[in-house]
Amino acid sequence: MLPFYLLSLIVTAKAELLPGSCSFQDSICDYMSDPDFLSWTLDPSGHFITVEEQVQEDQGKALLLGPDVEQQDWSCFRMVYQVTGSASLQVQKRTDGESFDQVLWTTQSPSESWLIASIDLQNSTEMFKIVIEGKLGEEKGSSVSIFEIKISDKYCIECDFEADHLCGYTNEWNRDMNWHVGRSDDTALNDGTGQYMFVDSTDTKSFQEVAKLVSPMTTVPMSGCLSFQYQQYHAEDHLFTLFSRDQAGQYQELWRADLPENNNVNWSPETRVWIPVQVDLKAPYPIEMVFEVAFNGPHGGYVILDEISFSPEFCNAGTEPTFDPSVANCDFESGYCRYVQTQIDSSLWRRVSIRPNIYTTGDHTTGAGSFLLANSRFSLQSGYVSRLFGPPMPGNQKYCLKFFYSLRGLSGTDQELSAYLYYSDGSKQEQIWTQNYKIRNVWIAVELTIQSQKNAQVVFISTCKNIWSCGSVGLDDIKVTLGDCALLASSVSAPSHCDFEAGLCGFTQDKEGDSGDWMLARGPTPTSFTGPRGDHTTGEGHYLHIEASVMLAGHKARLLSSSLRGSRETQCLQFYYHMYGSGIGQLSVYLQTGQENQDKLLWTSPGEQGISWLRASVNYQCDQQHQIVCEATRGASVRSDIAIDDVVFERGPCREYADDHIPHLRLSGNNNDIQSRNFK
């Protein structure tokens, strides 16, 4: 990180400051504390606001509400902050009509100095406000402080190095070699006014010294033209390179400075010619720019960098747009999407749909929709292979592939399903995954990070080696996104989505109006012939359920959501529920406002519904603050376990899938779904 004196420069920024900016020197500007929580206080001596005293045990957080903002152009939110102890800090975006705030950025890492957060705000036609949430945590003496907020009409990776705190750019400190700020009084390197970044070989102790200047991490997908200008001296004795670096620390070279003989420039110190550079940049997932200078010669020289800018249009008109991975997504509700099969295979992946029942699970998407089935009993024979080819995906890119599979029947082989990368140049295919779980009739999630230098297709292969050991395997909900699966899983989660993997997400037990509790579970419930065998999210995760064996007939368990903001627009509640057991009671969803004597019934499902996780979609409208109540009623016997999972609140009416045209318990597919393909 740059020394503090580099982060405290008082200069005049060229970027226009937008509403929501505040230096907190004499006031909190247009911000205000939410009175329902702890207060942000203005420190009179330090020119910052802070939360450092927890008055009541149940008020462990403070909300700072910004002014209404309408950003029709891209902008950058930059905040100087400090977190100590067990405190945490979040920046959220609040939009009218949304029950939950969108989390833009979060941290819970304590620091001993001021740090900088840079957050890109995409252009929007809707009015919104910035909400900053500070939580103190349980450790005594924890605090959250904000020194400054600036919102400018630029991209966060843009910088002319005139702005306060160098636009969030940082120097990766090296004992002998670092980037520094050049000022107007630095006559050795500067021939004009203003500021820039430079690195020279004065302090070099040995060859192969490296200096790195790192941009803020991008926070939203972006692509276009990155521009900057530079000067260098003794270019033959150093390398000046621009890399992108993702959150996993993986580098990709974007540009390298030419040697002097390639650009027809006089490189003497007296010339000091600024060389403009334009580089096409694709950042579909968070990355940072790394400007690296490596000294590897006796003279070393220097490099000067300035005027980093960005445009959403590519530098070269012929540059291919960022690949849209959604072309590889498919839930098979309306067909095979872009997945095809080979004519040489003796058996095909067949699209089927199963009505909810107590013997066989349906699809993963809705519980009553369509999925693909291979090795089915309808065409069982020994020694066949079923191949399913996905759409081509460009090379030199990182993908996260997610899909669900389900083993069916009582028998099976060690290798019923595998996934391969197939290369169009004819080179040997590469196996990237093979099934190793033996659990039956549960949809298991698989996530694979794929990276290949060549164009490739994902191929799902199901094998049947012997008629006596063949089972059947289902495939559903294939989704491909750009980025590393591990990083996507650890990214900021949406508070409007709850899969119960990290707790109850703000849901609480209603201790006054019920006689039982919702319990967090994983795997089968304790009672046989009731409850799910696994959760809906991954097949191996957590869900909530009522345990009928510790309740009496007619007892109710009520689960309350966190308080939701009202809206005049239609709101959507979607969740998955599981109601298997001969004694199943009833599951109901209510709307509670606190201003009426009785909750309003929104949805209900009585009796046994089969062994599948079924999707419920509930549209409702409420223009005042409210809560959603999930109420499960225990049935006549202990075989009455009811479960819920994957609860989602969304703005607008629920999006349904049209699956009525799929014949239930019938195989669908025709020759138009098959294309000839060689597989080596």
**CATH number for the domain that contains residue 233:** 2.60.120.200
Tell me the per-residue pLDDT of 389-424, one tens digit each, with 9 for 90 and over. Answer: 999 999 988 999 999 999 886 655 555 789 999 998
Confidence of residue 662 (pLDDT cuts 50, 70, 90): very low
Q: Does residue 472 share a domain with residue 334?
A: yes
Q: Does residue 82 share a domain with residue 136?
A: yes
Distance of alpha carbon 231 from alpha carbon 257, whole angstroms = 10
Per-residue pLDDT at 426: 79
In 442-596, DSSP assigns E strands to 444-452, 456-464, 472-482, 497-498, 508-509, 519-522, 542-546, 556-560, 567-579, 586-592
- Tell me, yes or no, whether 318 lies in a domain: no
Q: Does residue 546 share a domain with residue 621?
A: yes
Per-residue pLDDT at 665: 33
Average pLDDT on 92-120 reads 92
Q: Does residue 289 share a domain with residue 404?
A: no
433 pLDDT more than 90: yes
Per-residue pLDDT at 513: 72
- Tell me, yes or no, whether 240 lies in a domain: yes
Per-residue pLDDT at 52: 72
Per-residue pLDDT at 206: 63
Per-residue pLDDT at 347: 65
Per-residue pLDDT at 201: 79
At position 168, the amino acid (one-letter code) is G
- Tell me, yes or no, whether 677 lies in a domain: no
Confidence of residue 190 (pLDDT cuts 50, 70, 90): very low
299 pLDDT more than 80: no
Domain stop point among 152, 187, 218:
152
Q: Does residue 283 share a domain with residue 177?
A: yes
Q: Residue 490 contacts by C-beta under 8 Å, 6 or more apart in sequence?
A: none
Q: Does residue 176 share a domain with residue 304?
A: yes
- Tell me, yes or no, whether 13 lies in a domain: no
- Domain containing 451 equals 325-482
Q: Does residue 354 share a domain with residue 458?
A: yes
- Tell me, yes or no, whether 16 lies in a domain: no
Phi-psi region of 594 (alpha: psi -120 to 50; beta: other; left: phi over 0): left
Per-residue pLDDT at 1: 30
Q: Does residue 291 share a domain with residue 240?
A: yes
Q: Of 485-489, 590-594, 598-602, where does mean pLDDT reach its minimum? A: 485-489
Q: Does residue 331 share a domain with residue 306?
A: no
Confidence of residue 654 (pLDDT cuts 50, 70, 90): very high
Per-residue pLDDT at 393: 94
Domain stop point among 482, 511, 530:
482
Per-residue pLDDT at 657: 47
Q: Does residue 440 share a domain with residue 380?
A: yes
Domain stop point among 106, 128, 152:
152
Per-residue pLDDT at 138: 84
Confidence of residue 539 (pLDDT cuts 50, 70, 90): very high
- Tell me, yes or no, whether 316 lies in a domain: no
Average pLDDT on 546-575 reads 94
Q: Does residue 249 share a domain with residue 192?
A: yes
Distance of alpha carbon 180 from alpha carbon 558, whole angstroms = 61
Average pLDDT on 525-533 reads 95
519 pLDDT more than 90: yes
381 pLDDT more than 60: no
CB-neighbour burial class of residue 86 (10 A; exposed 0-12, middle 13-18, buried 19+): middle
- Tell me, yes or no, whether 25 lies in a domain: no
668 pLDDT more than 80: no
Total of domains in the chain: 4
- Tell me, yes or no, whether 676 lies in a domain: no
Average pLDDT on 470-494 reads 85
Beta strand pairing call for 115-121 and 222-233: unpaired
Q: Does residue 562 share a domain with residue 527?
A: yes
Distance of alpha carbon 51 from alpha carbon 135, whole angstroms = 8
